[in-house]
Amino acid sequence: MISLKDIRKVFKTKDGLVTAVDRVDLKIEEGEIFGVIGYSGAGKSTLIRMLNLLERPTEGSVIVDNQVLSSLKSKSLRKARQEIGMIFQHFNLLWSRTVRENISFPLEIAGVANAERKQRVEELIKLVGLEGRGDSYPSQLSGGQKQRVGIARALANNPKVLLCDEATSALDPKTTDSILDLLVDINEKLGLTIILITHEMHVIRKICHQVAVMEAGRIVEQGPVLEVFRNPKQQMTKEFVKQITEPEETTEAFSQMLAEHPNGRILQLTFVGEEAERPLITQLIRTFEIEVNIVQGKITKIHEGSYGTLFIALNGENDEIDKAISFIKSKRVEVEVIAHD
Ligand SMILES: Nc1ncnc2c1ncn2[C@@H]1O[C@H](COP(=O)(O)OP(=O)(O)OP(=O)(O)O)[C@@H](O)[C@H]1O
């Protein structure tokens, strides 16, 4: 559906040349939700803006739906761009226009006749859940509602691709979740391919099928979300994965855990995919003469299963504990013994 081939973007600044994107190759399949994650300055915005040629690559080609966008002239480029909608962190709405008029705007530009336009706007209002707010102005809406207008406007011309540039970064966690749910809904209902950039792992884990990790203009790691979570290779990826799997208070809590379980061993278990934590704990208690206490944990659901960390304390004879640890290791669970008695 989309491929970037050997893409580079170099900006000329007063201080010299800045390479924002450095030889990136990417392939995104139709219907996929593809996330690009990286810290500020990694080149994510530049990369996503090259997908619709808001930013022209210095080198390399951008191919969307079999068209080489990077070599199109302005008229055909304008047409090709109608296939690609985009939403932004700060919504980019027209403040003097109502919700209805904002959504209608791209249809007016595309020359859609009045009656058809009106009908389409009403459909879109319904699709994004803004019934009853059509005559409101953006300043009268919450952040989440503003982004819903942004989404409706981006979908007006029935694009095949939706680009999301930090679309939830200005929203609180609950509103973020509702917008992410809407994106999944649209992806499923319309078969839309979605590419999003974010610095929040939560966004990736909640809705993405594929993830690419970006650092200093390059993609340093990529793959299906579950695989990258299971086996993060780069330090940067490990940091992002930790964001959503390790309880924040982990390090500070170690000494307290040790004090509370002076005679046992504390294990850190990492679960990935369908491997649920509960059956394992039950099996441990039933099979071995040990006491198992759950100390703390954070198991999160990702698109294709669950992922997370659980700290447990085992008490009992050393032999039995050793056997229990071998048993856990034989399952698809990573084990780290973080403290001995
Ligand atoms: N128009 C521009 N002119 C000059 N340099 C630019 C321009 N746009 C981006 N850059 C530089 O390119 C690099 C990548 O920026 P980019 O905005 O793509 O990163 P990002 O990962 O999206 O970060 P952020 O989330 O902070 O925007 C940075 O060093 C930035 O200063």
Domains assigned to the chain: 2-243 (3.40.50.300), 246-339 (3.30.70.260)
CB pairs under 8 A, 24+ apart, for 75-81?
Answer: 77/53, 81/52, 81/53
ipTM above 0.85, yes or no: yes
The C-alpha atoms of residue 286 and residue 230 are separated, in whole angstroms, by 28
Residue 198 C-alpha to ligand 1 middle, in angstroms? 14
Q: What is the rounded average pLDDT for all residues in the chain?
A: 89
Residue type, 14: K
User: Which residue, 142, 128, 152, 153, is CA-closest to 175?
Assistant: 142
Does 54 contact ligand 1 (Cβ within 6 A)?
Answer: no
Give the model's confidence band at 276: pLDDT under 50 very low, under 70 low, under 90 confident, else very high: low
**Neighbour tally for 258: CB within 10 Å:** 16
Quote the pTM value: 0.81
Residue 71 is classified by DSSP as: G
Verify whether ligand 1 is closer than 6 Å to residue 41 (CB atom): yes
Q: Which two tokens stand for residue 248?
A: 């924040």
> Do strands 193-198 and 210-215 pair parallel, antiparallel, or not at all (unpaired)?
unpaired
For ligand 1, is residue 49 a contact (CB within 6 Å)?
no
- The angle, 0 to 180 degrees and rounded to 10, between the axes of the packed helices 318-330 and 277-287 is 150
Distance (angstroms) between ligand 1 centre and the Cα of 200 equals 18
* Whole-number percent of the chain with pLDDT over 70: 92
What are the structure tokens assigned to 188, written together?
């499923």
163-177, 291-305, 307-321: segment of lowest average pLDDT: 291-305
Ligand 1 centroid–CA 197 distance in Å is 13
- pLDDT at position 304 is 66
Radius of gyration of the chain (CA): 24
Query: Is the model's pLDDT at 185 over the cut of 90?
Result: yes
Cβ of 13 closer than 6 Å to ligand 1, yes or no, is yes
pLDDT at residue 253 greater than cutoff 90: no
pLDDT at 296: 78
